[in-house]
Amino acid sequence: MITIIDYGMGNLRSVAKAVEKYTDRIAISDDPASIEKSDALIMPGDGAFGMAMDHLTARGWIAPILEFINRGGFFFGICLGFQLLFSTSEEFGEHRGLGIIPGRVVRFRPDGHKVPHMGWNNVELTRDAACMEGVPSGSYFYFIHSYYPEVRDRSWIIGEAEYGDKFPCIVGRDNVIATQFHPEKSHTIGLRIIENFVRLACS
């Protein structure tokens, strides 16, 4: 079973519809106990980092998510769900994240580029990863965000985009994969990432 985490942040249905193209073993859940029956978790999200962590904490998701990841469960973070994997964020103050990946989420610098970074941008892959099978380096994906992570351990980075400066937009290791862009809104090439994740999680 692939569980999409409903913690009150963002439109989950578009992600669910994309996953349903490849499996019917999917559920949207607002109950942390559902993790016990899950083979994989997907955590999308839109909105502010601090509010998202407050929602996850208040609804009892933090410990079950960390335990799931630590025992090798497949996890896919999307957009805000990507950022929440990091140690801290400076968005509207200082906030602690899940701490899976060492790094700090910071705002794009005002260097002539509009913030938020919104629209299509190409992504250069920095290394091979199972979830990127069949995805050519340089492919375009759909972004909408004002913050990005400064990653302390570059071995986590799978892909980077450029918006003023280069920034990590795909990270992963072993059972964890996350994208700053929205694969569910990125047409065929984005769906390929979701298909790869479903295949890995359900094999």
Annotated active-site positions, please? 79, 182, 184
For residue 202, report the phi and psi dihedrals to the nearest 5 degrees: -105, 5
Please, how many CA atoms are within 13 Å of residue 101, restricted to the half-sphere of its CB? 30
**How far apart, in whole angstroms, are the C-alpha atoms of residue 85 and residue 178?**
9
**Quick one: how far is CA 175 from the chain centroid?**
13
**How far apart, in whole angstroms, are the C-alpha atoms of residue 153 and residue 139?**
24
For CA atoms 149, 150, 151, 157, give the dihedral sign. positive
For residue 107, give the nearest of 47, 147, 80 by alpha carbon: 147
For residue 172, report the phi and psi dihedrals to the nearest 5 degrees: 175, 160
**Quick one: how far is CA 34 from the chain centroid?**
20
- Strand, helix or coil for residue 73: coil
